[in-house]
Amino acid sequence: MTTSADIQTLETEELISGSEAIARACALADVDVITAYPIRPYDTVMQFVSKLIADGELTCEYIVAESEHSQFEIVKHASAVGARVFTGSSGVGWFYAFEALAVTCGLRLPMVAMVGNRALDDPGAFGCEHNDALAVRDLGWMLNWAATAQECIDTAFLAWRVAEDPRVFLPVAISTDGAFLTHSQQIVKVPDKSLVDRFLPPYDRGKFQLHPDNPITIAPQVNEDWLMEIRRQTDAAMRRARDVIIEAHEDFKSIFGRGGDPFLEEYMTDDADVVLMGMGTLTLPLKVTVRRLRERGHKVGFIRVKWFRPFPTPEIIESLSRFKAVGVIDRDYSLGSPLHGGVLFNEVRSTMYSSDSRVPIIGFVAGLGGREITLRSTREMFEITEKAAEEGTKGQEIHWIGVRE
């Protein structure tokens, strides 16, 4: 157990962006291979990785590939030989790597990627949307959304620890809201390497390591006699990831003295009647609105989903069953989906089907393309959700918030 005085002397404060925080994590975690291909806003991490290498603070193979597809293929192979890896992309760049993204999970190759969330083209746009990272939600990627630059560095350590755990061996994508996190410099506590070493054991692939001394074949061609069993194995790994995440968060808290609950961050929900929930940096305006509405007597709260895969099903059922209405904010869209709602909305709604509470769930699509989720729009969403609580509707509504009518 580290005392808070210990931690203080073992951490330094820096003014860095979310991207820079993850680059710093790469150096502290002794990453062996980093691959890159520029696309905004992910490319900010490349810039900082290059600087750390140039300054002699990070020694690794740093390969700028000729495309995102190769970028993800290279780290996939590096991971197979037992190298700790880091990579990432944004928007359509992430999609260009899609084949490589899919095969990584089947091969059970851990990697940590940063997705600088960006709208998908066309139209060409730079702003934040979550559809890029969410596109891999069915494949076996673990998906996490960070809210602050501090959480970026902390989550990176957690991500390697969970991904490289032999019970899991699956890739993790850390999503960082483009601009709001990738380009915003905040005061961050950067731990000393000794703390990181205590938390993060070396990556050991054991008998799965591709090495001349350990002759194995990976990535075979199979037919219908095998595939279902292979998928079932990956499914079992994802199911196990849940406990590994909980365990890692507990250890993280005891070593670094911070972190909170692994899956959900709840804000002023104890006596709340109505809550909004969402992912990423929209936390900031929501917390402020919760405080202001509470001053006026509204019993409101906010819940942030930190891990989207594995989806925190028991936590969400337990949490949301306490409320009179829930509004789910999606910084994404899922066109033609049930009720034409967002991805998170439909996942939450499906999760709550097995709950006895039948809490009304309202869907909001907001902040697309990096549009600011303003204090005014958060108030509007609370108003709509409070109304649903009063009327006891079953939440058949989807609202687009902040769109020009």
Partner 1 sequence: MSTYAVEVVYRGIFQKRLSGNICRSIVLASRMEGKIGTAFGRYGDSPERNGIPAKYFAVVADDALELEEYLAQYEPTQVDATIVVDDTLCKGVESWAWYGLQPINALTKPGGTVIVTSYQDPEQLKEDIHVKDEPYNLAIVKGSKSFSGLWVYKDDHTDVRVLGALARVVPDMVSLESYQKAILQQWKTEAKVVSSQRSHERVHISPVEPGEGNETEPYSFEMPGWQEMEEALVIPGIAQGGGFRGGEGGFEPVRSAVFKKYSTRTMRPVVNFETCTKCTLCWLQCPDSCFDVTPDGLYDANMEACCGCGVCEDVCPVPNCITMVNEEAFVDNDSQYEHWQKNRDDYMGWLEKKIALGKSERRSHGFHHVGQYQEENAMAEVGSDD
> What is the largest distance, in Å, between two alpha-carbon atoms of the chain?
69
Which residues, 17 to 46, sit near partner 1 by CB under 8 A? 40-41
Return the range that interacts with partner 1 (CB under 8 A); candidates 131-139, 154-162, 175-183, 214-222: 175-183
Q: Does 380 bind partner 1 (CB under 8 A)?
A: no
Q: Name the minimum Å distance from CB 18 to partner 1.
A: 11
Q: Is 208 in the site for partner 1 (CB under 8 A)?
A: no
Q: Using the rule CB under 8 A, is 372 a contact of partner 1?
A: yes
Q: In this structure, are residues 330 and 363 in contact, taking their beta carbons and an 8 Å threshold?
A: yes
Scanning residues 116 to 145, which ones bind partner 1 (CB under 8 A)?
122-123, 125-127
Report the amino acid identity of residue 220. Answer: P
Nearest residue to 323 via CA among 341, 348, 347: 348
How many CB atoms lie under 10 A from the CB of residue 217?
6
Binding residues with partner 1: total (CB under 8 A): 30
Chain centroid, CA 186 distance in Å: 19
Cβ closest to partner 1, residue 137 vs residue 371: 371
| 405 belongs to the binding site for partner 1 (CB under 8 A) | yes
102 scored as a contact of partner 1 (CB under 8 A): no
Q: Mind giving me the DSSP string for 124-173?
A: P--S--SHHHHTTTTTT-EEEE--SHHHHHHHHHHHHHHHTSTTT---EE
370 makes contact with partner 1 (CB under 8 A): yes
2 binds partner 1 per the rule CB under 8 A:
no
185 contributes a contact to partner 1 by CB under 8 A? yes
**143 or 181, CB closer to partner 1?**
181
With binding defined as CB under 8 A, does residue 64 bind partner 1? no
Closest approach, Cβ 367 to partner 1, in A, equals: 11
CA 285-288-290 angle, 5° bins: 105
- In angstroms and rounded to an integer, the radius of gyration of the C-alpha atoms of the chain is 21
The stretch among 26-34, 183-191, 269-277, 387-395 that binds partner 1 (CB under 8 A) is: 183-191
Considering the rule CB under 8 A, would residue 183 count as an interface residue with partner 1? yes
Torsion of CA 156, 161, 167, 172, to 10 degrees: 10
Q: What is the full DSSP assignment across 60-107?
A: SEEEE-SSHHHHHHHHHHHHHTT--EEEEE-HHHHHHTHHHHHHHHHT
Query: Does 186 engage in binding with partner 1 (CB under 8 A)?
Result: yes
Minimum CB distance to partner 1 smaller for 161 or for 287: 287
- One character per residue 277-296, x = contact with partner 1 (rule: CB under 8 A): -------xx-xxx-------
Q: Which is nearer to partner 1, 178 or 395 (CB)?
A: 178
Cβ proximity to partner 1: between 40 and 253 the closer is: 40
Residue 374 binds partner 1 (CB under 8 A) = yes
Helices in 16-55 by DSSP H: which ranges? 18-28, 43-54
The reply to whether 81 sits near partner 1 by the rule CB under 8 A is: no
Q: Edge to edge, what strands does the sheet with 398-401 contain?
A: 264-267, 300-305, 274-278, 325-330, 361-366, 398-401
Spatial CB neighbours of 232, under 8 Å, sequence gap ≥ 6 = none
- Give contact residues for partner 1 (rule: CB under 8 A): 13, 15, 40-41, 122-123, 125-127, 178-180, 183-187, 284-285, 287-289, 369-370, 372, 374-375, 403-405
